[in-house]
Amino acid sequence: MKKLMNGADTILAESLAGFAAAHADIVVLDPSGKFIRRKDIISGKVALISGGGSGHEPLHAGFVGMGMLDAACPGQVFTSPTPDQMLEAAQAVDGGAGVLFIVKNYEGDVMNFDMAAEMLKDMAGIAVMQLITNDDIAVEDSLFTTGRRGVAGTLVVERIVGAAAEKGMSLADLMALGERVNRQSKSFGVALTSCTVPAAGKPTFDLGPGDMEFGVGIHGEPGRRRAALASADEIAAEICEGIAKEFGDVRGRNALLFVNGFGGTPLMELYVMHNSARRIFERHGIEIARSLTGSYVTSLDMAGCSITLTLLDDDMLSLWDAPVHTAALRWGA
């Protein structure tokens, strides 16, 4: 194992310190090291908080800032954050309009955010709602979930709901919007290699040089099947046809195409996949109105990618285009 680190036991703390120093104009690392928050706390605005195990950077800390999250709670690598992290983050960024937790559908994350929500209501009297993302169509149940996993579509939810929160939308309306974005987002991933967790020092699973894993999760969970490595067009066809089948007839609809790298795939290859996916979806009559390509929801050093398609209505399209300024995503003002 070759990694740029001082030790497996300090890598998260040192990474968070470096992240906060590099983006000190946008974020602040809590002195306890339990969460990253926006530098500016907005009074009267619903606070958006997400989190999960580290190793998926820039998710979630990289999306803290104007137009997205107010705070992010990182756990150890591939390990859920603890309820006290979410509780303290919520109290730090509460603007008086309530808190929305955005939670990927993994059992540890859901359980700990549930506990934090109860503590927040009982101890601080703060209104809180929880939005669960479950956009992964690859498997219904996995090692860590009951039902579908929350994967790259979580970014789309955080972006669109974050823009609406910036405009002053109420907690209940943000919850309804987030549920709509989640329903209209479908994702599917393929791995060409495993990832290596620093504390383990070896790949999470074995994958031969001529193999790939279809439907892999973002923690190295097994997918729906193993297959011989194929061309980009063939890989995209299986993924995109599966997504199109989930949606049914959506001819004439606008959509966001998000091709996400898992951390070990060059942009050149991700754009090849974008080109293949775009052509397939356009054959289904889907208008690709917006695109995002890059490594945003990663799995350490895993090679591979996921494809997410989000059907956009006019409100969602406008919110996607609204200004955003975070470490990893920024456009507009």
Give pLDDT, residue 144: 66
Among residues 56, 60, 274, 284, the one annotated as catalytic is 56
Q: How many Cβ atoms sit within 10 Å of the Cβ of residue 323?
A: 12
- E strands, 43-127, are 47-54, 65-66, 71-77, 99-104
Domain chopping of the chain, boundaries: 11-183, 185-319
The residue with tokens 């350490």 is 300
Catalytic site residue from 23, 60, 219, 284: 219
Q: Taking 90 as the threshold, does the pLDDT of residue 141 lie above it?
A: no
The confidence score (pLDDT) of residue 234 equals: 98
Choose which CATH entry (3.40.50.1100, 3.20.20.70, 3.40.800.10, 3.40.50.10440) describes domain 11-183: 3.40.50.10440
Query: What are 46-62's pLDDT values in tens digits?
Result: 999 999 999 999 999 99
* Of 183, 180, 208, 181, residue with least CA distance to 194: 208
**Cβ-contact 300, 197 below 8 angstroms:** yes
11-183 against 185-319: fold identical: no
Give 118's contacts (C-beta < 8 A, 6+ positions apart): none
Yes or no: say if 226 and 213 are a contact pair by the CB < 8 Å rule: yes
pLDDT tens for 105-129 read 999 999 999 999 999 998 888 999 9
Confidence of residue 284 (pLDDT cuts 50, 70, 90): very high
The label of the residue with tokens 């279809």 reads 214
Lowest mean pLDDT among 82-91, 128-137, 197-206: 197-206
Which pLDDT score, from 0 to 100, does residue 145 have?
A: 64
Is 23 known to be catalytic? no
* pLDDT band at residue 143 using 50, 70 and 90 as cut-offs: low
As a whole number of angstroms, the distance between CA 161 and CA 156 comes to: 8
CATH value of 185-319 in 3.40.50.300, 3.40.50.12160, 1.10.150.120, 3.30.1180.20: 3.30.1180.20
Task: Name the E strands within 134-286.
Answer: 185-191, 211-214, 225-228, 254-261
Instruction: Decide: pTM greater than 0.85.
Output: yes
Q: Is the pLDDT of residue 156 over 70?
A: yes
The pLDDT > 70 percentage for the chain reads: 98
Residues paired with residue 74 on neighbouring β-strands, in sequence order = 52
State the Cα–Cα distance between residues 48 and 43, nearest whole angstrom.
Answer: 13
Q: What pLDDT score was predicted for residue 201?
A: 85
Respond yes or no: is residue 325 known to be catalytic.
no
* Averaged pLDDT for residues 200-228: 88
Q: Any idea how long the chain is? A: 333
Which amino acid, one-letter code, is at 275?
A: N
